Amino acid sequence: MRAVGIDLGTTNSAVAAYDAARGEARMLPAEGGRTWTPSVIGLRRADGKEKQLVGEVAVNWAARAPRDTIFSVKRLMGRHFDDEVVAKARERLNYRIVRGPQDDPRAHVELGDETCTPAQLSALLLRQLAANASRSLGEEVTHAVITVPAYFLDAQRAATREAAERAGLHVKKIIDEPTAAAVAFFGLDKNPGDRSRILVYDLGGGTFDISVLNAVKDAEGHGQFHILQYSGDNWLGGDDFDLAIVEYIIASMKREHGVDPSHDKGFLMTAKAKAEQAKRTLNEDTVAYIVIPAAYRTGEGRPLDVELVLTREQFDKMIEPMVRRTMELVERTLEEQDLTPDDISDVLLVGGATYTRKVYETVESHFGREKVRRNINPMECVGLGAGILAGTLHGVECPEPACRRPNDDAASRCTECGASLVNAPVFGETGLNEVTGPSMGIAAVRGNRRDVFVPIIPRNTPYPLPEPQQRSFEATDSRFIRVPVYEGDDPVASRNAEQGVIEFELPEEIDPHSRVDVSFNYTVNRTINVRISVAGTDMVKVDTPRRQLPPTPAPEPTQETDNGWNEQLLSYVMGHTEEFLQSYEAHIEPNQRMKVNRDLEQAQRALDHGETGEYERLTGLLYDDMLHQCGLASKFAQAERAAEGASPELTGLINEAVRLVKEAHARGNPEQLSQQERNLTTLVARALTEANVAEVPTEEGFGGELRIPDHRLDT
């Protein structure tokens, strides 16, 4: 068995292998001696035959077959055809994106006469990468650590795993790209005992990720990583810089020649290649010349040339809104962890787009040039980190405290005690303590609100989970139950990203109004498992969300609203919020207090003017302020709520954890504070699971009723 690390990128992909004797990873060569392979799939038609092309040969053939050249397919992974991101892709990409066959709601791509899922196309690329690595290493590559953007949702991670399995690879771990980059950086020049708080600014071809993590090198020289927070944008990257230049070229054609070449696929492909060259030129020079002979032919067949000058000042102005968007996300991420730029010791620039002068100068201005590390290649650090993990993660550890036996990655049960390894942690020289992304939950009914999002696994929960997290609901009077699984943090379920559906039917002998327990658990690779059971019966359904089913339509808005009840609830929450500000004053930052006060003022205006349509939204906003947006104060508020319904023993543990967090905060010890915060988060999650404490108090006793489908959707 040989394992490698694979950086499966939007624009380019790369492979790295770990050399145990030297204790370091190295990039493996692809065709032509480069260390990267273009993430491009093409189709060549010749002599009545079709041949699939991968990598550089697909790029070289692209101008001849622009509609059969697939790039940036990573942006489509695990997405529904009706997704806003897919709609944007259909407008901007040259190939055909279609709905799946037989009502499959996922986005598919037409390549020649075939219709493929993005996972099938990515499998072609992964197979090529594995073949190149096997040739370079002189032995067959069978296992891989594969990187994904930190903000990839559950369906996107599942599609990545599917692609690897189609390529014949066993996935040791799916790892976030910023985490992999930090592993590579920290292993490069840190000594035993060194500690860092790292912010990873990862601007690739198609996605932008930020991660904040604490890192320490233990006495044996092994890195231990604690991920604190991540954020990002799945449609923001260097490709968007290129497209801004393409729009500039199109505008010049309209102005100079009175033609619009925006629908000519061949022109767009050539223009994008020239845009990439101009972007790279402007990193060093103040002017780039864009010349494309016979770029476009008019209806009469007359060739038109492109001859343009693009200055760095013009380019900077084009991309300024996108760069500003990245820094807004950076600032928000720091605020959510009660951090400032001064609290960051190292800023790591990752991804080819960080070579752009406007980008790195903006980051240096924000954090200080001395913190921005340039001792590792932004194009290689993700792959190198994945390679280190491939060589230093050796399997999974049995989660049973009395056992803890190491097991192979592929094992489903412990070879020693037989315990399930579904949520077993990885083990090896490199230590990883990861957190989830957005909340995972389901849609439910609360009173007259039929589209309430009920989180089951809250955002930023440490995983693998020590045990499943559960919420209880009341079944409706329908025997057919459809449970859509959502990922996101919007209080309205249908505004989050649906990750799939669980469907089941209550047997005749079970009362339709029975209590239904829904529990979620993540595997070590953050794949969601759902268990649905009916209390007092032996009915149990365990499944992963089915992604091939049609998405769940949002319910029609109710004609009547209980404005009196909503007004009372908003008034109650406003009072509770003011008490929160007073109780936790010492742990609320000034910018956080300003935001909460603004939201309180907005709520008061809504009450004064009778804006009944705003009551529900503002109630959710104030609860989000208290429970999620005020850093340590929010953690203490969560702990207080959780302790109310916990056992005396667990209440004591929570109170002690709160005390230790406050002590670490007072001492200004960031490492100890991070450790104690994680312990408190775990205890709160355990208490919420045991007590079924709702995120927002309502008149219902549980999370609400399971939502009735508007009509039964055929499976």
Give 195-247 pLDDT, tens digit per residue. Answer: 889 999 999 888 898 999 998 877 676 778 888 888 888 778 888 999 999 99
Mean pLDDT in residue range 476-493: 80
> In percent, how much of the chain has pLDDT > 70?
92
pLDDT for the residue numbered 199: 95
| Least confident range of 271-275, 355-359, 507-511, 689-693 | 689-693
Helix, strand or coil, per DSSP, at residue 499: strand
Res. 367: pLDDT tops 90? yes
pLDDT for the residue numbered 704: 60
Helix, strand or coil, per DSSP, at residue 191: coil
Helix, strand or coil, per DSSP, at residue 153: coil
Most confident of 38-52, 170-184, 211-225, 305-319: 305-319
Residues in the chain, how many? 715
Asked if residues 622 and 574 have their Cβ atoms less than 8 Å apart, the reply is yes
The interaxial angle of helices 631-644 and 615-628, nearest 10 deg, is 100
pLDDT for the residue numbered 680: 86
Res. 464: pLDDT tops 80? no
Measure Cα distances from 123 to 27, 39, 160, 459 in Å: 21, 11, 9, 30
Question: pLDDT class for 591, splitting at 50, 70, 90?
Answer: confident
Cβ within 8 Å of residue 63, ≥6 positions away = 266, 269, 270
Q: In a 10 Å sphere around its CB, with 0-12 CB exposed, 13-18 middle and 19+ buried, how is residue 508 labelled?
A: exposed
Res. 465: pLDDT tops 90? no
As a whole number of angstroms, the distance between CA 357 and CA 347 comes to 16
What is the residue-averaged pLDDT of the chain?
84
As a whole number of angstroms, the distance between CA 76 and CA 119 comes to 9
Mean pLDDT in residue range 90-101: 87
Res. 10: pLDDT tops 50? yes
Look at residues 531, 556, 554 and name the one whose alpha carbon lies nearest to residue 543: 531
As a whole number of angstroms, the distance between CA 287 and CA 377 comes to 25
pLDDT for the residue numbered 560: 43
pLDDT for the residue numbered 25: 92
Mean pLDDT in residue range 462-483: 77
Please, which contacts does 589-598 make with residues 24 or more away whose CB atoms are closer than 8 Å?
Answer: 589/335, 589/338, 589/630, 589/631, 591/335, 592/335, 592/629, 592/630, 592/631, 592/633, 595/625, 595/629, 596/622, 596/625, 596/626, 596/629, 596/630
Provide the Cα torsion 121, 123, 128, 132; round to 10°.
150
As a whole number of angstroms, the distance between CA 24 and CA 16 comes to 10
> In percent, how much of the chain has pLDDT > 90?
33
Characterise 47 by phi-psi region: left (phi > 0), alpha (psi -120 to 50), beta (else). Answer: left
As a whole number of angstroms, the distance between CA 51 and CA 112 comes to 10
pLDDT for the residue numbered 124: 96
Mean pLDDT in residue range 56-73: 89
pLDDT for the residue numbered 399: 80
Asked if residues 126 and 164 have their Cβ atoms less than 8 Å apart, the reply is yes
Q: What is 200-253 written as a DSSP string?
A: EEEE-SS-EEEEEEEEEE-TTS-EEEEEEEEEEETT-SHHHHHHHHHHHHHHHH
Asked if residues 689 and 467 have their Cβ atoms less than 8 Å apart, the reply is yes
C-alpha torsion sign, points 557, 561, 562, 567: positive
Break the chain down into helix, strand, coil percent, rounded to 5.
40, 30, 30
Pairing state between β 372-373 and 346-350: parallel
**pLDDT tens for each residue of 268-280:** 889 998 999 999 9
Of residues 103 and 12, more confidently modeled = 12
pLDDT for the residue numbered 514: 75
Mean pLDDT in residue range 573-598: 86
Question: pLDDT class for 693, splitting at 50, 70, 90?
Answer: very low
Asked if residues 122 and 76 have their Cβ atoms less than 8 Å apart, the reply is no
pLDDT for the residue numbered 69: 92
Question: pLDDT class for 443, splitting at 50, 70, 90?
Answer: confident
Half-sphere exposure of 184 (CA within 13 A, CB side): 36
Single-letter amino acid, residue 465:
L
Asked if residues 304 and 253 have their Cβ atoms less than 8 Å apart, the reply is yes
- CA diameter of the chain: 85
Look at residues 278, 341, 337 and name the one whose alpha carbon lies nearest to residue 311: 278
Res. 694: pLDDT tops 70? no
Question: pLDDT class for 433, splitting at 50, 70, 90?
Answer: confident
pLDDT for the residue numbered 637: 86
Mean pLDDT in residue range 425-442: 83
Domains and CATH numbers, the chain: 3-172 (3.30.420.40), 238-319 (3.90.640.10), 440-554 (2.60.34.10), 563-691 (no CATH)
pLDDT for the residue numbered 697: 35
Res. 83: pLDDT tops 80? yes
HEC profile of 358-406: HHHHHHHHHHCHHHEECCCCCCCHHHHHHHHHHHHEEEEECCCCCCCCE
Res. 317: pLDDT tops 50? yes
Mean pLDDT in residue range 4-15: 93
As a whole number of angstroms, the distance between CA 665 and CA 672 comes to 9
| Least confident range of 94-98, 332-336, 614-618, 622-626 | 614-618
Res. 712: pLDDT tops 60? no
